[in-house]
Amino acid sequence: MLKEGEKAPDFCLEGIDEEGKEGRFCLKDFLGKPLILYFYPKDDTPGCTQEACDFRDSMSVLSSMGIKVVGISPDSLSSHKKFREKHGLNFILLSDPNKEVAKLYFAYGKKKMYGKETEGIIRSTFLIDKEGKIVKAWYNVKAKGHVESVLKELKALNL
């Protein structure tokens, strides 16, 4: 697992920006401002939709703190595009089809689902500072209420 104070692993992935335009995005593109990078299993599933819509609904508060939000899942760009349009998402979604970036962030591995052990995306969120260091890492989060706890943490950190 990544620890606070460590340098966030660098990456470049294809994605969809806030306006629905496709492009290539790298961690270095976001340096200079704090970043919330979150990993989620699948577009348009109940938990992932809850989390994405909670981030969407909190964007004015996050933007006022100068914080960007980027979501990453293994889904394709066309899936991201539909998910973004259907729910009016106002942040960047990146596609990690081979789960390489998820693995760099320890957001992929064994997890329990309905009592069975499976391998997959471990719902995780990272607060990365403007220099690219991990300020806070949340692993194995529950979608409902997660964004609210992130906001509380951000306010406590005085960002």
Rounded CA separation 43/130 (Å): 28
Residue 104 backbone dihedrals phi, psi, to 5 degrees? -60, -35
46: Cβ–Cβ under 8 A, 6 or more apart, which residues?
A: 143
Residue 71 backbone dihedrals phi, psi, to 5 degrees? -105, 140
Catalytic residue numbers, as ranges: 48
Contact assessment for residue 130 and residue 16, using Cβ atoms and an 8 Å cutoff:
no
Rounded CA separation 117/114 (Å): 8
